Amino acid sequence: MQNQAKKEDVIRVVVHYVGAGKPFEAEYAPTTQLSKVKQDALGAFGLLEGGTSEGNSVVYLVYSQQDRLDDLTVTVGQLAGHQKVLQLKLTQQITQG
């Protein structure tokens, strides 16, 4: 699905997560929403969002440089602009229940 676009039309997305040994990297069409990238990265890192057995809530936030990206409907193309590589960071947020 993520490789349907022509090679010159794709954006390489690199997602860094401090708990992983290496970043998640994949190529996406510019029209791909950030929600898809986040879902793929969580799966690649073996991470799950939701409640824990201790009653806490775990969510993962996506950042571009220092900016938190709350709108997951934004596209990879909008975030990357004219760049062919988009660097993102995933952070864990735990809320005590």
pLDDT per residue as tens digits for the range 66-83: 999 999 999 999 999 999
Into which CATH architecture does domain 7-95 fall? Roll (3.10)
- β-sheet bridge partners, residue 13: 26, 86
pLDDT of 23 over the 70 cut: yes
Residue 48's nearest CA partner among 32, 59, 37, 40 is: 59
- Parse the chain into domains and list their residue ranges: 7-95
pTM to 2 decimal places = 0.88
